[in-house]
Structure 1
Amino acid sequence: MLTEPFVTDYCRANIWLVHGRDLDMLVDTGLGICPLAPELDTTPGKPLLAVATHVHLDHVGSLHEFSWRAGPRIEAPFFETMPDEATYAHMFRNFPGDVSELPYPGWSSAGYAIRPAPLHRLLDEGEVIDLGDRRFTVLHLPGHSPGSIGLFDELDGTLFSGDAIHGGHLVDDMPDCDRTAYRATMRRLIDLPVRVAHGGHADSIDGARMREIAQDYLRRNGG
């Protein structure tokens, strides 16, 4: 797990690098205020697939740095231009307490922008990303965003859940959120045999805690 340590907590997302036998997988790419690729422990010449769980700013900022990119088909058109209305990049411009340390002299969040990163592989429910020794099934987990996906290793119960569920504050009140869809996602997660969930924010959680969070969401939002 990597993160951008000097970014305000609200916009700081988790970045996950998964090493496979034949292929490495990068799950989300942060805000991109500094180059991400040089920080990764990868093997020269080994393929790397960068997967975006959804198109929000804190998950796609460095996606353009990678030559092989995947993400949810439902949100694919937005990756072509990374418009503010889809990424919410405008929220970070002049955000109070945006960073605690400048990435370089003269940097300002007022000039923050996300470079386009068209997808090479469009992911739908049920597709499989095969790393050679591990296989991750794509789950469509809408609610936080229309196209939000998770990546589930059905053999060992590992879920990369993006912002669908994690141990921090779950956001369901932005313009592209859908609470009805989110409730359906939570009901699905309760029944999923997850051993550990690595989310887009906060610490990883075990399956029991994940189900508690999902059940609590349903109680607070009408089931």
Structure 2
Amino acid sequence: MLTEPFVTDYCRANIWLVGGSECDMLVDTGMGICALAPEIDTTPGKPLLVVATHVHLDHVGSLHEFAWRAGPRIEAPFFETMPDEATYAHMFRNFPGAVSQLPHPAWSSADYTIKPAPLHRLLDEGDVIELGDRTFTVLHLPGHSPGSIGLFDERYGTLFSGDAIHGGLLVDDMPDSNRAAYCATMRRLTALPVRVAHGGHADSIDGARMREIAEDYLRRNEG
């Protein structure tokens, strides 16, 4: 797990590097305040697939730095131009205390933009990502955003869940959020044989805690 240390807590997202015998995978790319690619420990000659779980600013900021990009088909058109109405980059421009340390003296959050990063692979429910010795199935987990996806390694019970579920504050009130869809996602997650979930924010959680969070969300929103 990597994080951007000087970004405000609200915008700091987890970045996950997953090693495979034939291909490595990077899940999400943070805000892009500073270059991310030089910080990724890759093996020369081994492919690196970079997967965006959804198009919000704290997950796609450095996506353009990488040569092989994948993400949800439903949100794919937004990756072509990274418009504010999809990424919410405009929210960061006026965010109080956006960073605790300036990347360089002339840096200002008011100038924050996200560079376009067209996807090379469009991911749908049930697609499979092969890393050689590890296999991840794409799960469509809408609610936080329309196209949110998770990546599930059923053999090891490992889920990379993006913002669909994690141990922090779940956000379901963005303009593109949908609580009914989120409830359906939570019902699905309660039945999924997850051993550990690595989310887009906060620390990783075990399967039991993940199901508690999902069930609590359902009690609050279906009751």
TM over 0.5: yes
**Partner SS state of residue 183, structure 2:** helix
41-50 or 131-140, larger mean C-alpha shift: 41-50
Partner in structure 1 of residue 105 of structure 2:
105
How far the C-alpha of 1:222 sits from its partner, in A, is 1.3
Partner in structure 1 of residue 156 of structure 2:
156
**Partner SS state of residue 92, structure 1:** helix
Partner in structure 1 of residue 43 of structure 2:
43
Partner in structure 2 of residue 71 of structure 1:
71
Query: In structure 1, how many angstroms separate the alpha carbons of the residues matched to 2:165 and 2:90?
Result: 24
Q: How many residues align?
A: 223
Partner in structure 2 of residue 218 of structure 1:
218
Query: In structure 1, how many angstroms separate the alpha carbons of the residues matched to 2:180 and 2:92?
Result: 27
Pairing 1:11–2:11 present: yes
Give the ranges of 4+ consecutive aligned residues of structure 1 lying more than 4 Å apart after TM superposition.
none
Q: Residue type of the partner of 2:72?
A: P
Query: In structure 2, how many angstroms separate the alpha carbons of the residues matched to 1:111 and 1:45?
Result: 36
Tell me the alpha carbon deviations over residues 46-95 of structure 1, each in whole angstroms, 9 at most, x when there is no partner.
10000000000000000000000000000000000000000000010021
Tell me the alpha carbon deviations over residues 182-205 of structure 1, each in whole angstroms, 9 at most, x when there is no partner.
000000000000000000000000
Where structure 2 has 5 or more consecutive residues not aligned to the other structure, the ranges are none
Tell me the alpha carbon deviations over residues 102-157 of structure 1, each in whole angstroms, 9 at most, x when there is no partner.
01111000000000000000000000000000000000000000000000001000
**Partner SS state of residue 221, structure 1:** helix
Query: In structure 2, how many angstroms separate the alpha carbons of the residues matched to 1:179 and 1:168?
Result: 17
**Partner SS state of residue 85, structure 1:** helix
Query: In structure 2, how many angstroms separate the alpha carbons of the residues matched to 1:180 and 1:8?
Result: 30
Query: In structure 2, how many angstroms separate the alpha carbons of the residues matched to 1:154 and 1:216?
Result: 24
Query: In structure 2, how many angstroms separate the alpha carbons of the residues matched to 1:118 and 1:14?
Result: 22
Query: In structure 2, how many angstroms separate the alpha carbons of the residues matched to 1:103 and 1:220?
Result: 41
Query: In structure 1, how many angstroms separate the alpha carbons of the residues matched to 2:39 and 2:93?
Result: 25
Query: In structure 2, how many angstroms separate the alpha carbons of the residues matched to 1:22 and 1:180?
Result: 39
**Partner SS state of residue 71, structure 1:** strand
Where structure 1 has 5 or more consecutive residues not aligned to the other structure, the ranges are none
Aligned pairs for 1:18-33 within 5 A: 18-33=18-33
TM-score, length of structure 1 as denominator length:
0.99
Q: Residue type of the partner of 1:151?
A: L
Query: In structure 1, how many angstroms separate the alpha carbons of the residues matched to 2:51 and 2:193?
Result: 23
Percent of aligned pairs sharing the same letter: 87
Partner in structure 2 of residue 203 of structure 1:
203
**Partner SS state of residue 222, structure 2:** coil
Q: Residue type of the partner of 1:198?
A: H
Q: Residue type of the partner of 1:110?
A: A
Pairing 1:142–2:142 present: yes
Partner in structure 2 of residue 86 of structure 1:
86
